[in-house]
Amino acid sequence: MAAPRKSASLSGVERRAVELDTIASVLPIDRRDELAELLTDSDVETLRHLVNEGMGANTLRAITSDLAYLEAWALAATKRSLPWPAPEALLLKFVAQHLWDPQKRATDPDHGMPADVADNLRAQGFLKSIGPHAPATVRRRLANWSTVTRWRGLDGTFTSPALKSAIRLAVRAVPRTRRRKSAKAVTGDVLAKLLATCSTDSLRDVRDRAILMVAFASGGRRRSEIAGLRREQLTAEPPIAVPDGPPLPSLAIHLGRTKTTSGEQDDVVYLTGRPVDALNAWLAAAKIDKGSVFRAIGRWGTVSRRALDPQSVNAILKQRAEMAGLESAEFSAHGLRSGYLTEAANRGIPLPEAMEQSRHRSVQQAASYYNSAARRNGRAARLL
């Protein structure tokens, strides 16, 4: 059956809104109407192309968000949409308006992002901070800008010496303390407090207990991996024999595509003991034998067929932290990932063994948790 023809009366904005709807299942969009007004036909076509190429949903969300910001900034700063490819001067302007020195701004109002540009972006909800952007945010947006440029078959100047130098000098001029994604790691003692709030047999407690235990014990899985986990990724393994006790249940999680893998290799992590029991209890209570593992629970205790949103995993952890009497603002879902490695370091588990479970690709990043634990517990920190 032929697809229905689009009405000729549809405006450009309405047409883009319809086209954005066609990729919403892969690329969830909360601000469809705003994006339809902001993005150009070419922008939407590029996003559709990336969806068809099989790019991960999280990457697509980041690219869409950054592309929308760039379009909004270009309109505010230059009164025109983004040119493709962007000239080097525009890239340098972007850096200058986002990486600036607050002290110099106090004496030079023209330094940094002009007030009218900032007010415009803030009114649209694109700008929330009153200071310069974090260097990592600027680099990410430039990287996604470059990605979209390449996917359009164009050459950009994102690797020009002038641009690299501008970023390096701007970062050096305004030192910033690097903040972790979660102010505090969810180590074993913190996790125990969170789990203590999941003490009943209610569906929410059973689900949240499973989420916390699986996310932590599987190597500190990212919230997107937990939210996207499917029953088909789980494989029962033979029980693990232990001395002086009954065998422990074992289960394999086939990760598929993650933030750092393409999904072509079969990355597997394992759960043993209590986390397996917690997961099986949730699957049984929610009667889940296929599809998404972790799902929303309705007002009347009904289990949704749809997977949890990654943001919900973060919200669940913060809610449990608050229930445990902890400062919820100091914790996020990423704290489970950093907490796993920190706890492994505290317990003397070798780094390579912990990385096999966490699936960190960067030894330097994983080792930073070990180095911090070693320095905190070492003699050098206890001279007095």
* Average pLDDT of every residue of the chain: 82
Same domain for 249 and 142? no
* pTM of the entire predicted model: 0.59
Same domain for 198 and 67? no
pLDDT at 198: 96
Same domain for 271 and 204? yes
pLDDT at 310: 85
Same domain for 307 and 192? yes
DSSP strand pairing (303-307 vs 248-254) = unpaired
Is 122 among the domain residues?
A: yes
pLDDT at 2: 41
pLDDT at 346: 82
Is 182 among the domain residues?
A: no
Q: Which two tokens stand for residue 107?
A: 């004496």
Is 77 among the domain residues?
A: yes
Phi, psi of 156 (to 5 degrees): -110, 180
Same domain for 157 and 28? yes
pLDDT at 191: 94
Same domain for 204 and 67? no
pLDDT at 358: 75
pLDDT at 93: 94
What does the pLDDT look like over 151-191, one tens digit per residue?
A: 888 888 998 999 989 888 887 776 555 555 556 888 889 99
Alpha helices for the chain (secondary structure H): 12-22, 32-38, 41-52, 57-78, 88-98, 102-107, 115-123, 135-151, 161-173, 188-196, 203-217, 223-227, 274-286, 310-323, 334-346, 351-358, 363-377
pLDDT at 211: 96
Domains: count for the chain: 2
**What span, in angstroms and rounded, lies between the C-alpha atoms of 183 and 148?**
32
Same domain for 117 and 260? no
Is 316 among the domain residues?
A: yes
Domain boundary among 141, 173, 205: 173
Domain boundary among 173, 203, 218: 173
Domain range for 125 is 12-173
Residues 6+ apart with CB under 8 A from 268: 252, 253, 254, 255
The stretches in the chain having pLDDT less than 70 are 1-11, 18-35, 53-58, 174-183, 256-266, 360, 362, 364-366, 368-384
pLDDT at 299: 82
Is 3 among the domain residues?
A: no
Is 178 among the domain residues?
A: no
pLDDT at 177: 52
Same domain for 275 and 332? yes
Same domain for 373 and 232? yes
pLDDT at 4: 40
Is 65 among the domain residues?
A: yes
Same domain for 168 and 303? no
pLDDT at 3: 42
Is 179 among the domain residues?
A: no
pLDDT at 320: 96
Domain boundary among 173, 197, 224: 173
Same domain for 163 and 115? yes
Same domain for 237 and 157? no
